[in-house]
Structure 1
Amino acid sequence: MKWIYIAAGIAFVLKMLFLANPAPRLPFSIVEAIAKDSGVSNVVSGIIFRNRLYDTIFEVIVFTIAIMGANFLMANEQPFTRIYQFTDQTSIVLAQLGATVAALVGIELAIRGHLSPGGGFAAGVAGGTAIGLIAITSSPERLQNVYKRWHAATWEKVSVLIFIVLSVVTLSGIELPHGQMGDLFSGGIIPILNILVAIKVALGSWSVVLVFIRYRGLL
């Protein structure tokens, strides 16, 4: 039986290496068609937030469940009594500089993600990176206080709800005017969905960072 598996594996590898898989000949450009339908020059954003918006909704929901799971699984653990952080001035300055750059990049990707490479998920990751860099140089209590003062957990949930509502409206066939392709206010609902996803991912990352620092320390 083992030799059958080995032969099947070899045949599969040879098929991938040597058998051609020609692209279908279409009378039109798929990229141009997606750009025309979505009204954005970044066709990746057009696919994510229009052509496969149904999948994107559940990706956002899965990310939300993952954050809730992290909070739930660690709720009964003992917090670290002392958390060691960077103390040398060079590391602190570099981390804060990196956080500033990452935050600015995140804002850029969220606002202009439908015009250039980027988008809501990438913007949220950049924002989460900025928060992580701040976390290794600031006290956890300070981050926790800021998180509560600005009601970040509430805004995270609100962004998810608004995203789902707008997505359902879009899937039902109601769309905003696309505007002029290449302009900042173009693409209909796509720029708004980009910003909502960026807020959700960044604030969710903030929540996870706080949980792991509290119960695992700085890894």
Structure 2
Amino acid sequence: MMRWVYVCIISIVFIRLAVLPPPAGEAMQTGIAEMVVQEAHVPNSVAGILLRNRLYDTIFEVFVFTLAVLGVQYALSLHTTEKDIFYMQDPSMVILARIAAMVSALIFLELALRGHLAPGGGFAAGVAGGSAIGLVTLTGNVDSLYAFYQRRHIATVEKFIVLLILGFGVAFLLYPDAQLLGRPISASAIIMLNILIAAKVAIGSWTIVLLFIRHRGLL
């Protein structure tokens, strides 16, 4: 069912991109970049240009990372889980890893909330969040973390985030002048897409780390 939903949304995006009208003569005279900055209503002009002209790039980046996670899940499902998993037990290393995880978590929050002010903030935030979760996993109990992962349906949350990102993309392409939270949808979507991509990459990184440790161990 999810595959057909993805196929339908991708088809809508492609069709919309194919029928986009060429820029008007006034836009060609004033400059497309200046026009995009005025429409986006965000301090970072690069973010506005990326959202308007390269939104599909962000969407397919999410798809590539989703396919990577699915590939890891499929490949490791063919292997049995490790019976004895050795954890990082040296006290000094555990303390350093937990401190690094805390710093990475703070960077994740900062980039998730303010990363839209610089290009690539959402993906960088997700990498920082995934690094924090990975460091905690290396110094903790993988079985209990995996049980939490399944109990809270984290994999379902990840799929729901992908659908939200696709929904924002389709909404922007179909109704670029609509209002969202009292602002043009283009400006509001930049912030929300940044947060959603950060959460998606962090959860995907957590999935990959958990699976590799459960099926291959730390070494």
TM-score interval for Structure 1 and Structure 2 normalised by the shorter chain: 0.7 to 0.9
1:144-189: CA deviation from partner (whole Å, max 9, x where unpaired) = 0221232211110000001101110101133436979xxxxx9221
Is the Cα–Cα contact under 8 Å of residues 41 and 116 in structure 1 kept in the other structure? no
Is the Cα–Cα contact under 8 Å of residues 40 and 48 in structure 2 kept in the other structure? yes
**Other structure's SS at 2:187 match:** coil
**Other structure's SS at 2:81 match:** coil
Match of 1:99 among 98, 101, 110: 101
2-structure distance, mates of 1:31, 1:204: 34
When residues 117 and 168 of structure 1 are mapped into structure 2, their CA distance, relative to the original with a 3 A threshold, is: closer
Which has the larger Rg? 1
Relative to structure 2, which stretch is displaced further, 198-207 or 107-116?
107-116
The RMSD of aligned alpha carbons is 2.4
When residues 44 and 102 of structure 1 are mapped into structure 2, their CA distance, relative to the original with a 3 A threshold, is: farther
Q: Which position in structure 1 is the counterpart of 2:52?
A: 50
Q: Which position in structure 1 is the counterpart of 2:18?
A: none
Match of 1:66 among 50, 68, 73: 68
2-structure distance, mates of 1:179, 1:165: 19
More helix by share: 2
1-structure distance, mates of 2:167, 2:119: 26
Relative to structure 2, which stretch is displaced further, 190-199 or 106-115?
106-115
Letter in 2 for 1:95: A
2-structure distance, mates of 1:143, 1:79: 15
1-structure distance, mates of 2:140, 2:33: 45
When residues 216 and 54 of structure 1 are mapped into structure 2, their CA distance, relative to the original with a 3 A threshold, is: same
Is the Cα–Cα contact under 8 Å of residues 126 and 198 in structure 2 kept in the other structure? yes
Q: Which position in structure 2 is the counterpart of 1:171?
A: 173
2-structure distance, mates of 1:93, 1:81: 26
**Structure 2 residues without counterparts, runs of 5 or longer:** 1-27
Count of residue pairs brought into register by the alignment: 189
**Other structure's SS at 1:187 match:** helix
Is the Cα–Cα contact under 8 Å of residues 87 and 137 in structure 1 kept in the other structure? yes
Deviation at 1:102, TM superposition (A): 0.7
Q: Which position in structure 2 is the counterpart of 1:200?
A: 200
Letter in 1 for 2:201: V
Q: Which position in structure 1 is the counterpart of 2:209?
A: 209
Letter in 2 for 1:190: I
Letter in 1 for 2:101: A
**Structure 1 residues without counterparts, runs of 5 or longer:** 1-25, 181-185
TM-score scaled by length of structure 2 = 0.77
Percentage identity across paired residues of the two chains: 48
1-structure distance, mates of 2:119, 2:129: 16
When residues 126 and 47 of structure 1 are mapped into structure 2, their CA distance, relative to the original with a 3 A threshold, is: farther
Q: Which position in structure 2 is the counterpart of 1:127?
A: 129
1:58-78: CA deviation from partner (whole Å, max 9, x where unpaired) = 111121111111101110212
1:85 matched to 2:83: no
